[in-house]
Amino acid sequence: MLSRRRLCAVAVSTVVLLIASQRIHRADLFLAMPPKPGSSPNTSSNSTAIQQAAALPGQPSLGEAQAEAQGPGHPRLVQTPATERCGCDKGCVQETDSSDWFRQHFDPRQLPVLNSTHILEPQALSWWLGLQSNADKQKLEEVMSQLFQVIPPPSLDLRPLPFRCHSCAVVGNSGNLRHSGHGKMIDSHTSVFRMNKAVTSGFEEDVGNRTTHHFLYPESAVDIVGGASLVLLPFKIRDLQWLTSALSTGTITMTYMRVKDRVKADKDKVLVVNPEFFKYCHDHWTERHGRYPSTGLVALIFALHTCDQVSLYGYGADKNGNWHHYWEENRFAGAFRKTGVHSAEYETQIIHRLAQEHKITLHT
């Protein structure tokens, strides 16, 4: 009789452990980003139960451990289209029922980040390969395989969660940021997106000093410090090869111009924009105005797909109508606007329409 009781006890313990492990796994998928400190998310009893189930005695949940290891705004989750409502009091950017215009442009099925197993749709691949010349004949599959031996495959969860409000500040490089005093407001967001050669040192009062995601390409590369994610916007196969090299051997020093042979960045946080997502921005948003969208426009659309609320800073001309970077004096102000590569006027129209449709908050 005693032996039977012991067997029953062992069996029950095994079942409990199996259930707990399943709960931990599910909690790890859903709890990758904690609510922003000081916010008032719409917390549900289900989310509380999941958090409690995930936490082992004396240890943080797996989701909390990931968030702690990577810092605020750096979850690594499963990539899926949004199906739930977020916890923001003022609504969620990915909701399409309030704007016919937004619904016509926003495609929730699009995946912003390239992963190791993704096979590019032929039409998107052809468009992407035609953006910039690439003399190297190495196959894309081989290049991707080598890249994902240096960086881990991403696992971003794009689903809004009812117990969090993930706010994002997308910070452009316009001279209109000078003397704006936006720094503290920018830093108050869950995530802060910056791009290209953006600097914060000496401009903290106007642009803040936090960065969680830094968008760049080889020709605009800078070292990524402070725990931010390097987000590569690739224009050609050579750009993927460069990223592999810049994070390992340092052998690539040229694309169509000389580039940094090495870049400082946390390999575990590196993301690569999906070329199909790049084409989606070109087809659905800029509607093929210009040869391809600007880095700033891609970063903004990326935010629409990965954030619950989006605020935009530092886009467009300054108060005198000049187009230049806030950290430099540009004698040729307006040159960017007339390059022909991007349609600054059309991108400006998109930004103002997004603000008009209450999908972003535009700060000028």
3-class SS at 261? coil
* Catalytic residue flag (residue 342): yes
In whole angstroms, give the CA distance from residue 333 to residue 174: 11
Q: Which of 74, 305, 325, 342 is catalytic?
A: 342
Task: Cite the DSSP H helix spans in 116-222.
Answer: 122-129, 140-150, 183-187, 204-207
What are 310's strand-pairing partners? 168
Question: DSSP character for 282?
Answer: I
CB–CB of 67/36 below 8 Å?
Answer: no
Spatial separation of the C-alpha atoms in residues 118 and 191, rounded to whole Å: 26
How far, in Å, are 74, 156, 190, 230 from residue 211 at the CA level?
Answer: 11, 18, 10, 10
Round to whole Å and give the CA distance between 174 and 329: 12
How many angstroms separate the CA atoms of 321 and 348, rounded? 13
| Catalytic, out of 166, 214, 280, 292 | 292
**Residues 61, 287: Cα–Cα separation, whole Å:** 44
d(CA 309, CA 218): 29
Joined together, the tokens standing for residue 206 give 């106007």
Q: Cα separation of 240 and 150, whole Å? A: 11
Q: Which residues are marked as active site?
A: 292, 342
